[in-house]
Amino acid sequence: MMNKITNSFLVFDMGDKITSSDEAYACTTTKNEIGPVGRSILSVQKVDSEGDEVVRYGENVRFVTNPYIFSKPLYLMSTQITPQTYASSQGTKGLLKSKPVYNTVWRIIPIEGNASPLIGQPVQANSMLIIEHCATREFLANDLINYGNDFGVEFEVSAKKYTVRQKA
């Protein structure tokens, strides 16, 4: 997955275990075009098993790591780091968690928003879209806030709403 605003790719670091959470690992972005490697491949898993296997706009999904990166599936989630601490970008922190709890549920929304006629239509590969965290209604995002790890300097992932503030 790529963030078109920051031109960075979603990746994870299995060596960076988050100790303040129940078995969770760091999720970051990188500007390096690393291609399809173990730490950049996620699958989309529908939460509701009703209907067909096609992922559609507006449906609840989970993003799951590939089976070769770790001994069990890990799910992309958003959470506060501690009750008083959020991500540096002031959103909730993006992590990988070992349990498919509600904080791992996301909704895929067309770039035009929830009023789009695309709601209910199949999501096409390489489409620009919004990924909304169901529990907080914040968007999967990243800023260019440095996050040092075994791969060098990457960037923090969060869930946050970005709005334009204008005078009325």
Q: What is the pLDDT of residue 109?
A: 95
DSSP output for the chain: -EETTTTEEEEEEEEEEETTSSSEEEEEEESS---S-GGG-EEEEES--SS-S--BTT-EEEEEE-TTTSSS--EEEEE-SBTTB--TTSSEEEEEESS--GGG-EEEEETT-TT-TTTTSBPPTT--EEEEETTT-PEEEEEEEEEEETTEEEEEEEEE--------
> Six-digit token pair at 55?
């992922």
> Six-digit token pair at 111?
């770039």
Mean pLDDT, each 10-residue run in order, the chain (168 residues): 85 79 81 84 89 92 90 86 48 81 94 92 93 90 83 84 54
Contact 40, 14 (CB under 8 A): no
Contact 111, 128 (CB under 8 A): yes
Q: What is the pLDDT of residue 95?
A: 84
Global pTM? Answer: 0.82
Q: What is the pLDDT of residue 85?
A: 43
Sorted by sequence, the CB contacts under 8 Å of residue 84 that are 6+ apart come out as: none
Beta carbons within 10 angstroms of residue 117's beta carbon:
9
In terms of Cβ atoms closer than 10 Å to its own Cβ (0-12, 13-18, 19+), residue 135 is: middle
